[in-house]
């Protein structure tokens, strides 16, 4: 189990942090967990989470992977982007309140320009979901965002 606070691993704040804990990580993968709690930003009236939120749970797990690697190397946690999702499949329509979910993200590709691909699996009691996430973490993200803003022609 990793004891770094999630707020120090993710470029998210407050209620936008949906995962509860990093269970383990190494150079190639991460395992995270959460318990579905009612009353969150994305919960349905019955307290459950729609299955499509599974993509965000996977993306936050990948972000936590990048945050863990940065912390391990004494570097700052940088902003990253979810570029797309392929083959999202889930055997349920929602994750009931109180359900414990585990997310496993496995890096299948990462290049020096910050592009990456992760194979992700989300499991719980009777729940199976999977997706391939394409992500981008530009070197010096703040500079990247400033350059993007300067090139816009509004």
Q: How many residues does the chain have?
A: 154
Q: pLDDT confidence of 151, banded at 50, 70, 90?
A: low
DSSP 27: S
Residue 47 region, left (φ>0) first, then alpha (ψ -120 to 50), else beta? left
Least confident of 1-5, 65-69, 80-84, 133-137: 1-5
Q: What is the domain partition of the chain in residue ranges?
A: 6-151
More confident residue, 154 or 8: 8
pLDDT band at 142, cuts 50/70/90? low
Q: Please report the beta strands in the chain, taking only residues with DSSP state E, as ranges in sequence order.
A: 21-25, 29-35, 49-50, 81-90, 94-95, 100-110, 115-124, 127-136
The stretch 86-97 carries a mean pLDDT of 96
Please state which CATH class domain 6-151 belongs to: alpha beta
Is residue 64 predicted with pLDDT exceeding 70?
Answer: yes
Contact 148, 79 (CB under 8 A): no
């Amino acid at each position: 189990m990793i004891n770094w606070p999630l707020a120090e691993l993710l470029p998210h704040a407050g209620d936008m942090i949906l995962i509860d804990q990093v269970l383990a990580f190494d150079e190639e993968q991460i395992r995270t967990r959460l318990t579905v709690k009612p009353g969150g930003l994305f919960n349905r009236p019955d307290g459950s989470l729609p299955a499509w939120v599974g993509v965000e749970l996977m993306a936050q797990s990948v972000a936590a992977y990048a945050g863990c690697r940065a912390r391990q190397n004494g570097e700052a946690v940088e902003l990253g982007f979810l570029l797309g999702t392929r083959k999202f499949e889930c055997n349920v329509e929602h994750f009931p309140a109180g359900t414990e979910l585990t997310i496993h993200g496995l890096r299948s590709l990462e290049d020096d320009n910050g592009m990456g691909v992760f194979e992700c699996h989300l499991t719980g009691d009777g729940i199976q979901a999977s997706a391939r996430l394409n992500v981008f973490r530009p070197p010096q993200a703040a500079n990247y965002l400033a350059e993007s803003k300067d090139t816009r022609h509004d």
